[in-house]
Chain A
Amino acid sequence: MRYKIDTIEPLWWGLFMAGAGVAGLFLPIHILVSGLMIPLGIVPREAEANWFATLFTHPIIKLYLLVLVSLPLFHWAHRFRYFLFDLGLHGGRMPIAVLCYGAAIVGTLWAIYTLIRL
């Protein structure tokens, strides 16, 4: 008898690990600046808004933003799936997987659409 090899799992795992790296390396400083420093007025707000308008509409920065948004979504999808298993949710494995990875794929497509129109 042979084991059934799961051929798609390494892909999700790879995206998960890449997302773990992006969420760890790049996200903290983004949250610190866009979520705390600008909102709290620690840095000049208007100057930052003007700069962001220039920066985030640049094609190369848009590509970076796509990575910044998309990979943490795949990171979430994989981790949340196992989080549910850890909580004891064992039924409906396939629907949960489709919902999680599907949401990450839809989110990525939405990010591409949003960034192109920016």
Chain B
Amino acid sequence: MHTESAARPAGYPWRMPAGWWLKNPRYTLYMLRELSAVFAALWVVLFLLQLPKLAEGPAGRAQWLQEVTSPGWIVFSLVAFVFVLYHAWTAFTATGTLVYLRLGKTATPAAAINGSMLVAWAAATIVIGIILLAPLFGIVR
């Protein structure tokens, strides 16, 4: 009886005006946030491209140091760092809105979920930071 209303309209003509994301700063920030994924992916690819040299003895390590000290890598890393921080902050402060988590009969408040994400982020950063900077902390020589 209601078959017609249940059908998806064929070729639903969804169209936004060109440059819609430039008309409102919030939309622009949304698109920049979407773009952050490009910088995250490009950074891990370049990071992995540099890695093999580290395993090629003292000469390889010297070459690795030469590559990571190039201005291009530093500038790109700085830009990627800003984008990734923006991605992390917006993702973790929106998790409470995205995730519905019920403990017993009450729903966990969004602020509590966001808070745990930020705590997890801080914890991961500290643990990885200590491991990566072990020589600095005198854990390894």
Contacts and interface: CB of A to CB of B under 8 A. Distances in A.
A82 B16 CA distance: 14
A114 B87 contact: no
A68 B76 CA distance: 18
Nearest to A25: B124
Contact-residue bracket for chain B: 35 or more
Interface residues of A, number: 61
A63 interface: no
A8 interface: no
Interface in B32-55: 34-38, 40-41, 43-45, 47-48, 51-52, 54-55
Nearest to B4: A1
Nearest to B35: A83
B122 to A, nearest CB: 10
A56 to B, nearest CB: 6
B51 A114 contact: yes
B37 A79 contact: yes
A49 B81 contact: no
Contact of A29 (B15, B41, B51, B128): B128
B11 to A, nearest CB: 10
Interface in A102-118: 107, 110-111, 114-115, 117-118
Interface of A: 1, 3, 19-21, 23-41, 43-57, 65, 68-69, 72-73, 75-76, 79-80, 82-83, 86-88, 90, 107, 110-111, 114-115, 117-118
Q: A-B pairs with the 5 shortest C-beta distances? A: A35-B77, A76-B41, A24-B88, A47-B135, A79-B37
